């Protein structure tokens, strides 16, 4: 979890490369029933193969799409895509200027959504269990509810320069606006998503202030990109999990197969959305004064 666009996808993929872990994969989130017959079939099930073929055709038709989100039918995907079944998700908020929904989603009781989340995973694990590795940046907003539904949860917070992350978030949401409205509402992007980015960090800090630092483990994007193996060894130590040869081999293979900017560089500027760094400084003052986050310019 974390502020959106801070490396949560990278962290999730690195964890998922360990064969001892189990992640909800894109194809099975979209087509969960019947659940896969065994763990050996998670990447070869006909539904997985059909999605891979579809994905290949989409990337061939629009190669630039790979710049925005490093996903695959057989990679782990975000909980947002099944928590949306309960209609409580920021994915709905991203479709346009929806101030009433924004007010709802940031103040509602998320218990039903997380209870559904648990049931969904129980269906998927019927024949293919394991230690679940799940990812969604906005888990950051509802930590009290998460620990109520999952008392043994272990939570990783991905840190990155919040100014870079905010620009990237606005860029990604602008694509959703293009798809649903025909053009991005840049004024709404500036108003809503700068606030949302800061709110993610603030709610985690509020939770830590109340419950202590050790309920959340910090992982820095700069460390993951500079030294993925060393960083993941440290993460495993903090989790109390065994670092195995199989984990290291799987993670190294994923790193080898997925170099940075594999599909091109995702380029964006705050100025595209009428945002200046000086406007963001008060929003992230608390966060940046508390955590030593590498700045990206």
CB 266 within 8 A of CB 168: yes
pLDDT of residue 69: 52
Asked whether 28 and 35 are in contact (CB, 8 A), the reply is: yes
The answer on pLDDT for 263 being more than 70 is no
Given 3-state DSSP classes, what are the helix, strand and coil percentages for the chain, each rounded to the nearest 5?
A: 60, 5, 35
More confident residue, 244 or 271: 244
Query: What are the CB-based long-range contacts (under 8 Å, 24+) for 99-107?
Result: 102/192, 106/141, 106/199
Nearest to 198 by CA among 279, 297, 80: 279
> Is pLDDT above 70 for 147?
yes
The residue with tokens 């870079």 is 164
Reading phi first (left if > 0) and then psi (alpha if -120 to 50, else beta), residue 96 is in left
The per-residue pLDDT for range 228-249, each reduced to its tens digit, is: 999 999 999 999 999 999 999 9
Instruction: Check whether 70 has a pLDDT greater than 80.
Output: no
- 279/154 Cα distance (integer angstroms): 34
pLDDT tens digits for 2-24? 999 999 999 999 999 999 999 99
Q: Is the pLDDT of residue 264 over 60?
A: no
Question: Helix axis angle, 277-290 relative to 194-211, nearest 10°?
Answer: 10
pLDDT band at 161 (very low <50, low <70, confident <90, very high): very high
**The pLDDT of residue 75:** 87
Assign 60 to helix, strand or coil. helix
Q: Which domains does the chain have, with CATH numbers?
A: 8-24+76-257+267-290 (3.40.50.300)
Encode pLDDT of 108-142 as tens digits.
999 999 999 999 999 999 999 989 999 999 999 99
* Range of lowest pLDDT (156-165, 171-180, 198-207): 171-180
pLDDT for residue 166 is more than 70 = yes
Q: What is the model's pLDDT at position 234?
A: 98
Average pLDDT (25-54) is: 94
Closest by CA position to 97, among listed 17, 193, 6? 193
Q: Which residues, other chains included, contact 37 with Cβ-Cβ below 8 Å and sequence gap of 6+?
A: 45, 127
Q: To 10 degrees, the CA torsion angle through 264, 266, 268, 273?
A: 130
Flag whether pLDDT at 67 surpasses 60. Answer: no
Write down the mean pLDDT value for the chain: 92
- Would you call 141 exposed, middle or buried from its count of C-beta atoms within 10 A (0-12, 13-18, 19+)? buried
């Amino acid at each position: 979890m974390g502020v959106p666009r801070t490396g949560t996808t990278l962290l999730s993929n690195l964890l998922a490369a360990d064969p001892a872990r189990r992640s909800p994969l894109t194809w099975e989130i979209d087509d969960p029933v019947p659940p896969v017959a065994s763990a050996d079939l998670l990447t070869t099930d006909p539904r997985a193969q059909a999605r891979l073929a579809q994905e290949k055709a989409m990337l061939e038709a629009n190669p630039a799409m790979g710049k925005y989100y490093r996903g695959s039918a057989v990679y782990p995907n975000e909980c947002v895509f099944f928590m949306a079944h309960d209609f409580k998700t920021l994915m709905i908020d991203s479709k346009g200027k929806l101030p009433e929904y924004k007010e709802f989603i940031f103040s509602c009781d998320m218990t039903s959504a997380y209870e559904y989340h648990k049931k969904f995973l129980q269906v998927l694990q019927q024949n293919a269990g394991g230690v679940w590795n799940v990812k969604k940046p906005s888990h950051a907003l509802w930590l009290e509810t998460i620990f109520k539904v999952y008392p043994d949860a272990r939570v990783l917070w991905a840190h990155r320069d919040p100014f870079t992350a905010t620009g990237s978030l606005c860029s990604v949401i602008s694509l959703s606006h293009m798809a649903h409205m025909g053009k991005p509402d840049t004024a709404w992007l500036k108003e809503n998503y700068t606030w949302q980015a800061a709110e993610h960090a603030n709610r985690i800090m509020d939770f830590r202030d109340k419950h202590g630092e050790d309920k959340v483990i910090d992982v820095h994007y700069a460390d993951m990109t500079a030294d993925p193996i060393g960083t993941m060894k440290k993460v495993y130590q903090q989790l109390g999990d065994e670092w195995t040869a199989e984990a290291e081999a799987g993670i190294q293979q994923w790193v080898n197969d997925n170099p940075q900017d594999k599909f091109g560089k995702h380029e964006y500027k705050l100025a595209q959305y009428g945002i200046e760094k000086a406007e963001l400084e008060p929003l992230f003052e608390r966060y940046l004064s508390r955590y030593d986050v590498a700045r990206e310019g």
